[in-house]
Amino acid sequence: MTEVFDITGLPQELIGQLTKRAASNPTQEDVLLAILQHETEPRSIDWLLVQIYRTEGQVWKRGSLNAALYRLTKGDIIRRVTVGMYVYNRGDA
């Protein structure tokens, strides 16, 4: 997994030494993985939408979240568990 960190306020000299990936904003997948990192229970899409807002201050469209979740499940990074509605958790949980 790519490490996610905030580069806000860092001097340009340091930012210039970082890889393009590290110097860019976190992807949707990075945000989801950071949220699910310590979760042991499967989480619903509604729960994820709320956590994204609480941690990132962003309102994601449900379709955008579904697309990011799909990419992560195809990479076997997380898995979809069917319990009534679709819920997701880490692949190793």
Strand partners of residue 17: none
Give the pLDDT band of residue 2 (cuts 50, 70, 90). very low
| pLDDT tens by residue, 43-77 | 889 999 999 999 989 999 999 999 999 998 888 88
Instruction: Compute the distance between CA of residue 83 and CA of residue 86 in angstroms, rounded to an integer.
Output: 6
Taken in order of first residue, the domains within the chain and their CATH numbers are 26-90 (1.10.10.10)
CB 66, CB 45: distance < 8 Å: yes
Assessment of whether the complete model's pTM goes beyond 0.85? no
CB 72, CB 29: distance < 8 Å: yes
